[in-house]
């Protein structure tokens, strides 16, 4: 074991010489201080270079919903590779698009892209063109990708109340174009329609869009307050503002119709990504009202991308949505049942060892927090809670359970009873180790 471990560490050093930090993105999972290199995967399990086995509730930041080695999914990709690997317009386009339109209420028309980041930018561009206005509203604790104008930053609208106990990282990133946040958006607290209304009363004539995660998964998997989404919808109508739901996580994970179906609130534009193509290959999508998407038809708004609509991606979307929707969404119901078992076990074991723990959010994209009280707003996700969550995250990984940073639990449709049993037998140690530090 000792020798095997050093083999992976050695490999890690080799990678680090060329790869900054040894990882392909900066949002390191805590256990990636020494990244784990994986060699194989099956269903919900992955194995590292040392032969150590893990239960994969990380699922590539929630994208990987089909499970490893999913035969139906893999066959559809193989068939596509053998038939037609690279063309711009593919003979599965209609099927894939019709499936999205069938399930996502706002999807009157759809364009494909590759990443969530780019598709969010395209949504904002469309909203600006449609309204003739310039700025957008975004919310503390929500994440919409790795672009200069949308990451972090101080709440720009200084008059707006920002909860004084908010200790999250508002810094975002160095190196962005000067004043890009201040000039483009207002960053305000979420789940408070009065704050939004006050802003729209004063600045509605310059606001093109309101963008939010309808369930704030990135801010701790926080649910919208009752009626909040409906109120936001009506405010957007009143002030001629395009409402964008970023359903890159919730789309297809919070039921096949996303949060918009679940809550009965239809946005003007929806951004989709991650699980839309199963998680094995990258696809994002911009879905929206015909009237707004018409700007693309008329070529008044540019949307471009070398690989948009590539056959493997389109085949993956078709295969994934067929699987998720078959027999009244049986696969998601089953996945949610296993996930619920896992959450109940985690809570019961935490109670036994005396570690405060709350699990919240939709089944398909829940989060745990080391606190006794459910977060009602991402701004309540304090540094203290987050720090403990990170420690538990690391201890879970040490004990053979991978979760997504910081504390998200992403099930996939291949989860079975053996996985639930594995979780039961491995979670206790991780909770105990975290409790020791908590004390
Ligand atoms: N929006 C949301 C809600 C996300 O969670 C993410 C990714 N975590 C993005 C946008 C950006 O997507 P991508 O990483 O594919 O650029």
* Domain residue ranges in the chain: 2-69+328-438, 71-323
Check if the beta carbon of residue 113 is closer than 8 Å to that of residue 133: no
**Å from CA of 168 to ligand 1 middle:** 18
pLDDT at 169 over 90: no
pLDDT for 6 equals 63
Q: Is the CB of 247 under 6 A from ligand 1?
A: no
Q: Is the CB of 246 under 6 A from ligand 1?
A: yes
pLDDT for 53 equals 97
Least confident of 172-186, 362-376, 409-423: 172-186
pLDDT for 168 equals 42
- Mean pLDDT value of segment 357-382: 95
Give the residue among 230, 292, 290 at the shortest CA–CA distance from 259.
230
Q: Is the CB of 58 under 6 A from ligand 1?
A: no
pLDDT for 154 equals 66
Check if the beta carbon of residue 207 is closer than 8 Å to that of residue 137: yes
Percent of all residues in the chain with a pLDDT value above 70, rounded to a whole number: 93
- Mean pLDDT value of segment 59-72: 96
Burial of 162 (0-12, 13-18, 19+ CB in 10 A): middle
> How high is the ipTM of this complex?
0.99
d(CA 16, CA 23): 8
For the CA of 218, the nearest atom of ligand 1: 5
Buried b (16+ CB within 10 A) or exposed e, 75-102: ebbeebeeeeeeeeebebbebbbebbee
Check if the beta carbon of residue 191 is closer than 8 Å to that of residue 377: yes
Mutate to test the pocket of ligand 1, among 143, 213, 254, 259 (most ligand atoms within 8 A of CB): 143
Q: Is the CB of 273 under 6 A from ligand 1?
A: yes
Check if the beta carbon of residue 157 is closer than 8 Å to that of residue 199: yes
Q: What is the pLDDT of residues 203-217, one digit of tens each?
A: 999 999 999 999 999
**Å from CA of 3 to ligand 1 middle:** 38
- Known active-site residue 143: yes
Q: Within 13 A of 359's CA, how many CA atoms are on the CB side?
A: 21
**Å from CA of 1 to ligand 1 middle:** 37
Check if the beta carbon of residue 51 is closer than 8 Å to that of residue 398: no
Burial of 20 (0-12, 13-18, 19+ CB in 10 A): exposed
Tell me 34's DSSP state: S
For residue 71, what are its two tokens?
């035969």
Q: What are the backbone dihedrals phi and psi of residue 364, each rounded to the nearest 5 degrees, phi first?
A: -80, -10
For atom 12 of ligand 1, which residue has the closest CA?
Answer: 116
d(CA 169, CA 178): 19
For atom 10 of ligand 1, which residue has the closest CA?
Answer: 144
pLDDT at 31 over 60: no
Tell me 162's DSSP state: -
- Mean pLDDT value of segment 116-140: 97
Helix (H, G, I), strand (E, B) or coil at 139: strand
For the CA of 250, the nearest atom of ligand 1: 3
d(CA 357, CA 351): 8
- Mean pLDDT value of segment 159-180: 58
pLDDT at 57 over 70: yes
CATH of domain 71-323: 3.40.640.10
pLDDT for 299 equals 97
pLDDT at 30 over 70: no
Q: Does domain 2-69+328-438 have CATH number 3.30.465.10?
A: no
Q: Which of 133, 274, 289, 435 is catalytic?
A: 274
**Alpha helices by DSSP H, 305-382:** 311-353
pLDDT for 175 equals 85
Check if the beta carbon of residue 409 is closer than 8 Å to that of residue 57: yes
pLDDT for 77 equals 98
Q: Which of 246, 341, 389, 419 is catalytic?
A: 246
**Å from CA of 403 to ligand 1 middle:** 17
pLDDT for 178 equals 81
**Å from CA of 145 to ligand 1 middle:** 5
Per-residue pLDDT band at 162 (split at 50, 70, 90): very low
Tell me 33's DSSP state: G
For residue 230, what are its two tokens?
């409906």
Better-predicted residue by pLDDT, 300 or 188: 300
For the CA of 282, the nearest atom of ligand 1: 15
Give the residue among 60, 44, 40, 52 at the shortest CA–CA distance from 398.
52
DSSP 246-295: E-TTTTTTSSTTHHHHHHT---SEEEE-GGGGTTTS--EEEEE-HHHHHH
pLDDT at 268 over 60: yes
For atom 7 of ligand 1, which residue has the closest CA?
Answer: 145
pLDDT for 215 equals 98
Q: Is the CB of 408 under 6 A from ligand 1?
A: no
Mutate to test the pocket of ligand 1, among 64, 117, 217 (most ligand atoms within 8 A of CB): 117
Q: Is the CB of 248 under 6 A from ligand 1?
A: yes
* Mean of the per-residue pLDDT values of the chain: 92
Taking each helix axis from N to C end, the angle separating 290-297 and 116-131, rounded to the nearest 10 degrees, works out to 100
Strand order in the sheet with 366-369: 358-360, 366-369, 408-409
Give the residue among 131, 65, 6 at the shortest CA–CA distance from 334.
65
Q: Is the CB of 249 under 6 A from ligand 1?
A: yes
Check if the beta carbon of residue 308 is closer than 8 Å to that of residue 387: no
For residue 365, what are its two tokens?
């994209």
β-partners of residue 211 are 244
pLDDT for 103 equals 98
Least confident of 89-98, 328-337, 384-393: 384-393
pLDDT for 5 equals 54
């Amino acid at each position: 074991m000792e020798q095997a471990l050093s083999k992976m560490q050695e490999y890690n050093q080799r990678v680090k010489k060329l790869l900054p930090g040894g990882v392909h993105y900066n949002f390191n999972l805590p256990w990636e201080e020494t990244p784990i290199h994986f060699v194989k995967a099956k269903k919900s399990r992955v194995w590292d270079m040392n032969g150590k086995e893990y239960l994969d509730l990380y699922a590539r930041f929630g994208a990987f919903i089909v499970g490893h080695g999913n035969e139906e999914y893999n066959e559809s990709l193989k068939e596509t590779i053998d038939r037609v690997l690279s063309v711009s317009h593919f003979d599965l386009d209609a099927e894939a698009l019709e499936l999205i339109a069938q399930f996502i209420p706002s999807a009157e028309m759809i364009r494909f892209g590759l990443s969530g980041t780019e598709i969010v930018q395209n949504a904002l561009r469309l909203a600006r063109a449609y309204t003739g206005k310039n700025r957008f509203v975004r919310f503390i604790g929500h994440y919409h990708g790795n672009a200069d104008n949308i990451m972090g930053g101080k709440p720009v609208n200084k008059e707006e109340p920002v909860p004084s106990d908010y200790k999250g990282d508002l810094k975002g990133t160095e190196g962005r174009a000067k004043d890009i946040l201040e000039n483009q958006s207002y960053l305000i607290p979420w789940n408070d329609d009065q704050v939004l209304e006050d802003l729209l009363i004063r600045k509605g004539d310059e606001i093109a869009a309101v963008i939010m995660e309808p369930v704030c998964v990135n801010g701790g998997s926080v649910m919208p307050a009752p009626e909040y989404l409906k109120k936001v919808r009506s405010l957007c109508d009143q002030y001629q503002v395009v409402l964008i739901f970023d359903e890159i996580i919730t789309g297809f994970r919070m039921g096949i119709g996303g949060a918009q179906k679940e809550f009965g609130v239809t946005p003007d534009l929806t951004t989709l990504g991650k699980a839309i193509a199963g998680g094995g290959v990258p696809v994002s999508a911009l879905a929206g009202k015909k009237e707004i998407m018409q700007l693309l038809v008329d070529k008044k708004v540019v949307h471009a991308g070398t690989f948009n609509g590539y056959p493997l991606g389109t085949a993956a979307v078709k295969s994934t949505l067929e699987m998720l929707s078959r027999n009244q969404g049986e696969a998601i119901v089953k996945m949610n049942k296993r996930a619920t078992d896992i959450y109940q076990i985690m809570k019961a074991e935490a109670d036994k060892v005396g570690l405060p723990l709350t699990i919240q959010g939709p089944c398909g994209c829940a989060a745990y927090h080391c606190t006794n009280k459910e977060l009602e707003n991402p701004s309540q996700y304090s540094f203290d809670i987050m720090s403990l969550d990170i420690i538990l995250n690391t201890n879970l990984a040490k004990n053979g359970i991978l979760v997504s940073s910081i504390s998200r639990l992403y099930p996939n449709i291949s989860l079975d009873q053996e996985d639930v049993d594995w979780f039961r037998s491995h979670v206790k140690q991780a909770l105990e180790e975290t409790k020791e530090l908590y004390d």
